[in-house]
Amino acid sequence: MIILDGQDISSGEIKARRPSGGSFKESQAEPSMVRFWPLLQLRQFYSGSIIHIGRGGRGKHRLTQRDELVEVVTENKHRKDRTMQAKVDCSVTRLALAFSLVILMCAAWPTLGAGEPLVVEVWPGTAPDENGNIGAETVRMSPKLDRKQVEVTEPTRLVTNVTKPTLTIYRPPKDKDTGTAVLICPGGGYWDLYWQLEGEEVAAWLNSIGAAGIILKYRVPRRPDEVKGEPARRPLQDAQRAVSLVRSRAAQWDIDPRQIGIVGFSAGGHLAIATATSFERRTYEPVDDVDTISCRPDFAIAVYSGYLKAKDKDQIAPGLNIPADTPPIFLAHGGNDIISPPEHSVLMYLALKKAAVPAELHVYATAAHDFGVRPIDHPCSEWTRACAAWMRHQGFLKPPTQRR
């Protein structure tokens, strides 16, 4: 977070106002001030920190640090004019101070991360079949659940009311970068997105093995015209478009266009499988040149997936088909999962095997739902190691020195 005169300007936009409260019209803000902040790219120099930049009259500035808090403190015992003036001299003072702060932070914290991830909108305008009448996008904590239901019982952050799908791109360290990128589909029953447990934490794991983690914020909750108990249709539109979009930006993002995978959890696992098996036909009308690029992922990973099994039948759900060119698929599930029973993954594995699609299945006895990628006191937490070994065997985690 970056605070200028008590205002969060992490996004790079500024609404000028007095430090102690009160405001004046946004149009009075100095234009050069508004445009300069994005160029500074302050967000590249902090990771979870709070930066306060204050303006004072007389007195000197000093930089103080405690824990993750960095402040520029202005000693000013004689403030004669408490009304903020949007003039060039004020802007120059702040910009000089901000520039100094960047230099100081670069020297003091050379090991900080590369800053905030890149966020890209999936659609150039309004998404297909979207009327945007579900209210503002919301972040809240998930409910605390019983250990019989899930492995991770404490609340974690989730996102809902998504009308503008995005990609949030986390890059691995340069010395580990294999050129592989994996789209991440958090679960949530097509009602919410478990953003922390099955999004951000998954991206961190992927980065640790040399892959870019790209979280797909697809549309939730399911809309009134989508049948309850069945997979929602709009998320597949978002996922197909997302695969094509990542492949279209492969050169720009230093990604191998032949090494783009997709991973999903719970309902997101179904979305990953649906994306990996529906590439022959788009579920929306093409909107631009991006949609001329293949939406077939090069591999898929589905973890404790739902919606894969037909109701009351030991076969895969009727909405799923397995084309001959389906990419390799890795499946993991908990043997005691009562939210999405393991039969979903077992039957999908058997169908893939019958279709001669390379597939690997891991079912962990006594494991419940929602174990994510966290190291826990259960063998199911080893699925990430098995998956990384599978990816290497498939040729998707070649050392950076072997990249072509």
* pLDDT given at position 378: 95
Residue 345, pLDDT above cutoff 70: yes
pLDDT tens by residue, 232-264? 999 999 999 999 999 999 999 999 999 999 999
Least reliable range by pLDDT among 6-10, 27-31, 264-268: 27-31
* pLDDT given at position 401: 79
Question: 15 with 22: CB under 8 angstroms?
Answer: no
* pLDDT given at position 132: 85
pLDDT tens by residue, 321-342? 999 999 999 999 999 999 999 9
CA–CA gap between residue 332 and residue 153 (Å, rounded):
19
Report how far apart the first and last C-alpha atoms of the chain are (Å, whole number).
38
Distance (Å) of CA 303 to CA 208, 269, 363, 368, 400: 19, 6, 10, 12, 27
Q: Name residue, tokens 């306060």.
A: 52
Domains of the chain: which residue ranges?
2-108, 118-402
Question: 134 with 324: CB under 8 angstroms?
Answer: no
Question: 130 with 218: CB under 8 angstroms?
Answer: no
* pLDDT given at position 111: 29
Residue 398, pLDDT above cutoff 80: yes
* pLDDT given at position 404: 64
Q: Which amino acid is at 34?
A: V
Residue 134, pLDDT above cutoff 90: yes
Residue 323 tokens, joined: 């084309």
Q: C-alpha dihedral over 184, 187, 191, 194, to 10 degrees?
A: -80
CA–CA gap between residue 300 and residue 359 (Å, rounded):
10
CATH class of 118-402: alpha beta
pLDDT tens by residue, 31-67? 332 222 232 233 332 333 333 333 333 333 333 333 3
- Whether residue 165 is preceded by a cis peptide bond, meaning omega within 30 degrees of 0, is no
Helix (H) or strand (E) holding 36: helix 31-40
Answer whether 0.85 is exceeded by the pTM.
Answer: no
Alpha helices of 211-342 — where are they, by DSSP H?
234-248, 267-277
What number of other Cβ atoms are within 10 A of residue 177's Cβ?
18
Residue 235: closest CA among 160, 143, 330, 156? 160
- Whether residue 143 is preceded by a cis peptide bond, meaning omega within 30 degrees of 0, is no
According to DSSP, residue 376 is labeled -
The percent of residues above 90 in pLDDT, for the chain, comes to 68
CA–CA gap between residue 382 and residue 386 (Å, rounded):
7
* pLDDT given at position 90: 42
The per-residue DSSP string of 297-315 comes to: -SEEEEES--S-BPTTSSS
Q: How sure is the predictor about 26, in pLDDT bands with cuts at 50, 70 and 90?
A: very low
* pLDDT given at position 402: 80
Average pLDDT over residues 211-235: 95
Residue 108, pLDDT above cutoff 50: no
Residue 224 tokens, joined: 């009134």
Highest mean pLDDT (candidates 15-29, 92-106, 331-345): 331-345
Residue 128: closest CA among 284, 289, 246? 284
* pLDDT given at position 63: 34
Q: Identify the residue with better confidence: 63 or 306.
A: 306
167 SS3 class = strand
* pLDDT given at position 191: 97
Instruction: Give CA angle at 166 (116, 253), nearest 5°.
Output: 60
How high does pLDDT run on average in the chain? Answer: 79
CA–CA gap between residue 305 and residue 185 (Å, rounded):
11
CA–CA gap between residue 187 and residue 53 (Å, rounded):
39
The percent of residues above 70 in pLDDT, for the chain, comes to 71
Residue 140, pLDDT above cutoff 70: yes
CA–CA gap between residue 137 and residue 333 (Å, rounded):
30
Question: 193 with 158: CB under 8 angstroms?
Answer: yes
